Each structure stands twice: as C-alpha cells, then as structure tokens.
Structure 1
Amino acid sequence: MTAAPPVSPIPVAPAGLTDRAERYVEVDSVRVPRQGLGKYRERWIEHGIPAVEIDRAEAFQDRWGGLALPPAPFYEGGPRILDADCPEGSAAEGWSFPAGDCRVSMAYGFMIGSDGSFGIDAYRWTPLHASTDGWVESLALAAHAGRWARTLTRIKGKAVESLDLVGFEPVPEVQGVTDTWWRGKDSLIALYRGEAVGMDAPQCLEAHVYGGLDEWGLRGG
C-alpha cells in the first residue's frame, strides 16, 4: 500500500462548511503531511477491528487528517493536529477512534464517536459536537467573535447555570451536543460543558460571553 500523497501546507477547506469556517481553515490553519491508514488495514482487521470502522477512520483522515488548527479557547487548545488512529471499542459498547494528539498532557483525549460526533474521552465518553465539522465551526466562530466583540466576559463554575438565555437562539452550524453556542441581539455566548460532564467536575463549567457585536459580528458568514 502506498503512502498518502504529499499535500500543500495551504489547506483547502472541506466542502459543506460555512463561509466563516472556510475562511478560518484556509487563512488561519496549515496542512501537514498526514499518515495513510491503509497500510494498517490488514493488521487491524486481524485484531478484530471491523472493516467499516477502519473505513470511518480513513474517511476522517481524507477530510481532516493533517489539519493543524489554531488553539481552541478551551480544552487546553484542542487537538494539536487532526489525525485519526486505530479504532477501539466493541460491538456492544460502540467503536471510536482518536481525533488527534493533545497539545499538552491531559486527563482525557479527543475522539470520534460511533455516530461521528466529536468529543472527549474522560471518565466517560462526552460528545461535544455532532461532527468534526461542528467542532471546526465552533473554533471559527470563537475566532470571529473574539475579533469583533467589544467585550469578552468569562464565567466559571456554578455561575454559568445562572446565565439568562431568554431571547437567545442556538447557533445551528456548531452542531452543539454538550457544548453549545447562542446568539442574542448584540452578543454571542459559548457554553463549554464538556469537562464538567465528562469528568464529573461542575467547577469546570465555563461560558464565554462576547458582547457589543453588530450584525456582521453576530453572523459573519
């Protein structure tokens, strides 16, 4: 099996992203050489990994593998480089595979779940977004909001539960599961619940409130 072909360090955004996320990928990110998973296929199958799960990992690698994104505003920056690896799990528990190595030593890893969701594997599996597209959309939105907001307020712990979201609407493109984004009249709110849920640590709840946004700042693609 031949190795994956070399790729340009200037990434081309995968199809299906918003204009905002497309700009983020193509302007703020780089693409590094990615490993081809085909060379491991026979060995993984011999170890009982279903071919369909290897196919899922290869599809992820084709779409996202080798993409180095700027650090995320939470989760210690997120994966250093998006990069699939050997699937793990069982038919009973479901299969998942790594989404890329952490930037620092952490108590959890980033995984792609059996349903394609992007999440963290801490004390328990916790999906953050329904897909990797949603994760990337959330990073793009955070970068955009941070650039255009007049104020940024970070709220931590129990105080997060007191946030009033009346009049806010969910931001659909981030495909939020445990983590969500909300759009108001002149502000955006990111709710990061993943660590609190996955590690049973309510003190890890965190919200970022981006205020003073005009229509472009609220939408931006």
Structure 2
Amino acid sequence: MDLYLADVPQGLTRRARSFVQVHGLRVDSLKIDQYRDGWLALGIPAREVDRVAEYSARWGGVVLPPAPHYDGGPRILCPDTPEGSPAEGWWFEAGMQRTAVPYSFMIGPGGEFGVHGDRWVPLHATVEGWVESVALAYHAAMYAKKVVKVVADEVEAIRLEGHEPVQEVAGLADTWWRGPDSLVAVYRGEAECLSAPVCRTAFVYTGLDRWGLHG
C-alpha cells in the first residue's frame, strides 16, 4: 500500500519525508515475534533481537526507488537473522539486494547502514542517513542544471573548498557536500568494501538555486 504521511518514520527532513511519502511503498515484512524464541535459542542476545524488532517496526516493508549507486540499494527494507558474536558485535540484514552484487546491505553494531562483503564498511551512521541520501540524490538530479559523474582517481581531484558536509545524511564512507550553487555526492563504500579503488564514484550537481540546495 502507499505510505501515508502518518506512516513515514519520524526523524527525517521535510525533503526526505516528502520523498518517502510520494515515491515509497510499504509491503509486508518479517514478523520478528515468531522468530524471537528460536533466535534466543541460537544464543543471539535478547538486546540484538530487540534491535531487529525495532528496525522492523520502523522500517520493515518500506520500498524506495533505486538508489543512484550500489545497483539501486536494497529492494525492500526488511531485516533477517542477526549475525556476529559478543566479541565482534552483531549485524543484521537491512534488506535484500535488487541485483547480484558481491555484498549485503547490513545494519551494524551501532545502528550504522552499510555494506558487508570482503569487509564491513558503514556508509551512513543511521538508517535515516541512507534514506536522506537517496532522497537528496533524486532532489539534486531534478533541480541541477548539470550533473557530472566522476570515477576512480578523478574523485580525489574534486575541489571541495567552500563546501560543507550535508549533516542529515550522517555520512561515513559516503558523504554529501553543499557549496554555493552545487551539491557533491561521494561514494567510497563499495571501493572500500571490495578493496577496489576503481569503484570510487562521485556525482557533481551544479547550477542549483537555494531551493535546489536545501529543499
């Protein structure tokens, strides 16, 4: 069913809330209660089961348009069995991939949204940060007069003087930067996860007015 305003999770900017409301769907998701006893029997701590339940209640079943990187991101935000150990911490799936990429989208021990393949790389400090980044990508593409894609070593040549971090995306490996009339999205997570510097990607959106910059 369509996501009505009351169904959109709190804690998002107006731009992201509007994006989810207009373009998002909510479908059935994993019912954690039916798995709780089995997971506890496997030795998964109760607090980790509670984390999955909280994620499912807040984000479970949310379907967003494809992200501009990571082959679109998760198809549906839907958790699965926690993985990890008391020593390393615990992760659980954020949602199944849209395509056959060599990593999974996971929620980390501290609630980070990231990718787990050859190694764990947190992309955003929060799930909200991931949603904000997807919403901002669509917003910037709509209002920019010019969009340039940059890859590999050319990403390091982007001049960010006069830019400031876009705080709402809670960027870690992936970051957004706001300049006088531009937005820059830098995606390093896939490159770090796969130890493949050639996968570094950035999008530079220019010719933005005040609404395009802030929405």
What is the TM-score with the length of structure 1 in the denominator?
0.95
Query: Match for residue 156 of structure 1?
Result: 151
**Partners of 2:182 and 2:207 within 8 A in 1:** yes
Measured against aligned partners, the alpha-carbon deviations of 1:22-43 in whole angstroms (never above 9, x if no partner) come to 0011001111111211100000
Which residue pairs with 2:51 in the alignment? 56
The whole-number CA distance in structure 1 between the counterparts of 2:160 and 2:175 is 12
CA distance in 2, matches of 1:198, 1:28: 29
Equivalent pairs: percent with the same residue? 53
How many angstroms apart in 2 are the aligned matches of 1:58 and 1:140? 25
1:10 to 3, 28, 33: 3
**Does structure 1 conserve the Cα–Cα contact (< 8 Å) formed by 2:3 and 2:20?**
no
Residue 124 of structure 2 corresponds to residue 134 of structure 1: no
Question: Runs (4+) of structure 1 moved beyond 3 Å?
Answer: none
Question: Is the CA contact (8 Å cut-off) linking 2:182 and 2:204 kept in structure 1?
Answer: yes
- Equivalent residue, structure 2, for 1:38: 33
SS in 2 for 1:126: strand
Pair 1:111-2:112 in alignment: no
Encode CA deviations 1:65-95: one digit per residue, 9 max, x unaligned.
Answer: 0000000000000000000111000011110
> Are 1:93 and 2:105 an aligned pair?
no
Matches within 5 A, 1:70-219: 70-219=65-214
What amino acid is the match of 1:156?
Answer: V
Amino acid at match of 2:146: T
Aligned-pair RMSD on alpha carbons? 0.7
Residue segments in structure 2 that go unaligned for 5+ positions in a row: none
Task: Report the secondary structure of 2:204's partner residue.
Answer: strand
Q: Which amino acid aligns with 1:72?
A: A
TM-score of the pair, normalised by structure 2: 0.98
Distance 2:163 2:80 in 1: 38
Q: Secondary structure at the match of 1:120?
A: strand
DSSP-derived class of the 2:137 partner: helix
5+ unaligned residues in a row in structure 1: which ranges? 1-7
Can you list the C-alpha shifts for 1:31-63, whole angstroms capped at 9, x where unaligned? Answer: 111121110000010011001000000100001
